[in-house]
Amino acid sequence: MRRSGCLLASGALALGMLGAERTPPGVLLLEVQERRSVAPSPLQRRAPKTVEEVITNEKARGGYFSTCSVGTPPQDVVLLLDTGSSDTWIPASNAAVCSRRFSTDPCPLGSFNPSDSETYREFIQDGLEITYLDESYVFGDYFQDTFDIGDSSVKNMTLGLGLNTTLNHGIVGIGYMLNEASVRTSRIQYDNLPVALAKANVTNSVAYSLWLNDFDSQMGNILFGGVDVEKYTGSMMSLNVTTADNSDEFDHFRVPLTSVQASSPSGSDTLTTTSYPIQVVLDSGTTLSSLPADLVDQMWREVGVDFSAVLRQPLIPCYRKESPGSFTFGFGGPDGPKVIVPMNELVLDITLGQPPVFPSDSPYKGQDACLFGIQDFGGPPYILGGTFLRSAYVVFDIVNNQVGMAQTDFNETKSNIVPFPSYGAAIPSATAAPNQGQTDTPPSGTAPDFSASTGFQNAGWIPGALQLPAILAISLAFWAAF
Ligand SMILES: *[C@@H]1O[C@H](CO)[C@@H](O)[C@H](O)[C@H]1NC(C)=O
Ligand SMILES: *[C@@H]1O[C@H](CO)[C@@H](O)[C@H](O)[C@H]1NC(C)=O
Ligand SMILES: *[C@@H]1O[C@H](CO)[C@@H](O)[C@H](O)[C@H]1NC(C)=O
Ligand SMILES: *[C@@H]1O[C@H](CO)[C@@H](O)[C@H](O)[C@H]1NC(C)=O
Ligand SMILES: *[C@@H]1O[C@H](CO)[C@@H](O)[C@H](O)[C@H]1NC(C)=O
């Protein structure tokens, strides 16, 4: 009997494991589903909660999830996919966060009870200690057990057991092994999921591709061991991953962001910062993105952000989702990959229910307020999270320390999966970006003249075209009346 593996979290797509039959050998395709918000845990609910907490608590708020199972017989768990961390852990059924004292279903995405698994083995006691960027945390043990993902099963996989945590769901960390909590706490480096999949011969190399897809579609996928060449447009370019202080210690998917262009029907601006090249971490586990303050200020001015002193958040009228403006992010110098991020990926609903409205002292008084998805968290590290990653098709090659990047093809249903042919093979279909050491933006100080801002702020504004038919229609109506 096949184990249940990774099925979908909800009935959104009843097909289940899309493409499991069609994928070539050497790859593992896993669907990921976006969840806008995860029910808060009772521990969090006991404390008075502000809107600001809801918004900034990224790991608890939403992200991309997939269902896996742990142990024998398998216990299903829905886990957050995170390229920014490296441990896979599951909340323990007896952790306070999953306690039924305060709620009937406190851990709706599943938890793990070691005593119900015949194949469970203790590994490192107290070795699991992670505090995420948003200050959510997990403390606990490491254990080894069978882990089912997609249609594959990894025996003796090292996993974390969350005993004291603020998160009521687990995380699949698929980053570099050097960033495992056990390296810090116990000086033990273990084979985490991408490596374990290669060692189990599920994949040929330690690499995977992430296609998060459109915000409105809520469904994307992660492909371990291959590239789906139908899921992006233009050509795929690869970049060297950079390290802090140019050491050879790769711990994050860090790449140089070397230009940001703002474009709308009214014009185009090259945005400046004293921080180019900005070393940005590609982090699927974070919803928002964080960039240097001087750059963020210019982006906010382009789109017309009204910073709320009360919520301490950059707000924008929700209708600007429809704005024809976009930002183009350039990486690895003038000849590197470029990714266009449209406004509907950057304007986010604040809550699931009725949106709040702007107060009377705001220029947008009375209009529905949304959140702008690029902020300044006070980095470095600077982060490109979900608000950027949805617009890109990104390949993470852990063996060669390369990232492949191309413009995503939203909602593409065609598929042509090319596996990495062997361990350490280069990213299929990618060409290395030339001149990666260069920057392509004029020295900072040359502030843009914000010629794109009118076009960003008039949603649906088309120069010339719109005015003419409108005037014609009015005069025709006038004529008919006479
Ligand atoms: C499981 O893996 C560990 C190393 O992480 C190894 O020490 C142990 O022998 C393995 N157990 C089995 C049953 O394969
Ligand atoms: C859980 O960890 C937090 C943060 O370190 C600590 O303050 C708290 O006392 C711990 N709770 C338990 C039950 O150990
Ligand atoms: C994976 O394949 C290699 C080469 O064919 C083989 O030596 C190794 O035993 C296989 N490993 C597993 C876990 O099947
Ligand atoms: C993708 O599909 C969703 C519906 O599933 C739709 O709302 C969205 O507009 C589509 N995106 C694009 C870019 O076509
Ligand atoms: C990328 O890194 C490799 C290995 O460090 C180096 O040999 C190569 O020159 C780098 N490529 C570019 C374009 O910088």
Residues 125 and 262 in one domain: no
Going from the C-alpha of 373 to that of each of 300, 387, 453, the distances in angstroms are: 10, 6, 17
Per-residue pLDDT, 417 = 93
Identify whether the C-beta of residue 141 lies closer than 8 Å to the C-beta of residue 161: yes
Residues 94 and 186 in one domain: yes
pLDDT band at 63 (very low <50, low <70, confident <90, very high): confident
Residues 86 and 192 in one domain: yes
Give the residues surrounding ligand 4 with Cβ less than 6 Å away: 214, 216-217, 410-411
Mean of the per-residue pLDDT values for the chain? 83
**Does residue 225 sit within a domain?**
no
Identify whether the C-beta of residue 83 lies closer than 8 Å to the C-beta of residue 283: yes
**Does residue 15 sit within a domain?**
no
User: What is the extent of the structural domain holding 133?
Assistant: 27-203
**Does residue 243 sit within a domain?**
yes
The residue among 393 and 21 whose pLDDT is bigger is 393
- Of the three residues 181, 203, 225, the one that is the final residue of a domain is 203
Q: 87, 145, 251, 283: which one is catalytic?
A: 283
**Does residue 332 sit within a domain?**
yes
d(CA 377, CA 361): 26
**Does residue 159 sit within a domain?**
yes
Residues 333 and 377 in one domain: yes
Structure tokens at 23: 């994928």
**Does residue 251 sit within a domain?**
yes
Q: Quick check: CB of 138 below 6 Å from ligand 2?
A: no
Per-residue pLDDT, 287 = 85
82 included as an active-site residue: yes
> Which ligand lies nearest the alpha carbon of 199?
3
The residue among 85 and 472 whose pLDDT is bigger is 85
Residues 261 and 145 in one domain: no
Q: For the domain that residue 35 is a member of, what is the CATH number?
A: 2.40.70.10
Residues 116 and 255 in one domain: no
Residues 293 and 189 in one domain: no
Q: What is the pLDDT of residues 321-339, one digit of tens each?
A: 999 999 999 999 999 999 9
Residues 169 and 241 in one domain: no
Residues 245 and 189 in one domain: no
**Does residue 387 sit within a domain?**
yes
Query: How many domains does the chain contain in total?
Result: 2
pLDDT band at 103 (very low <50, low <70, confident <90, very high): confident
pLDDT (average), residues 371-385:
90
- Of the three residues 203, 218, 241, the one that is the final residue of a domain is 203
d(CA 113, CA 67): 17
Q: What is the pLDDT of residues 198-219, one digit of tens each?
A: 999 999 999 999 998 887 777 7
Q: What is the pLDDT of residues 384-422, one digit of tens each?
A: 999 999 999 999 999 999 999 999 999 999 999 999 999
Candidate of 217, 219, 390, 413 to mutate for ligand 4, largest count of ligand atoms within 8 Å of Cβ: 217
- Cα-Cα-Cα-Cα dihedral sign, residues 85, 90, 92, 98: positive
Identify whether the C-beta of residue 33 lies closer than 8 Å to the C-beta of residue 63: no
Going from the C-alpha of 195 to that of each of 109, 189, 225, the distances in angstroms are: 25, 12, 10
Per-residue pLDDT, 434 = 92
Residues 194 and 261 in one domain: no
Q: Quick check: CB of 438 below 6 Å from ligand 5?
A: no
The residue among 300 and 30 whose pLDDT is bigger is 300
Identify whether the C-beta of residue 236 lies closer than 8 Å to the C-beta of residue 427: yes
449 included as an active-site residue: no
Per-residue pLDDT, 408 = 97
Per-residue pLDDT, 352 = 57
**Does residue 212 sit within a domain?**
no
Reduce the DSSP state of residue 479 to 3 states and report it: helix
Half-sphere exposure of 18 (CA within 13 A, CB side): 19
Question: What does the chain come to in residues?
Answer: 482
pLDDT (average), residues 138-156:
94
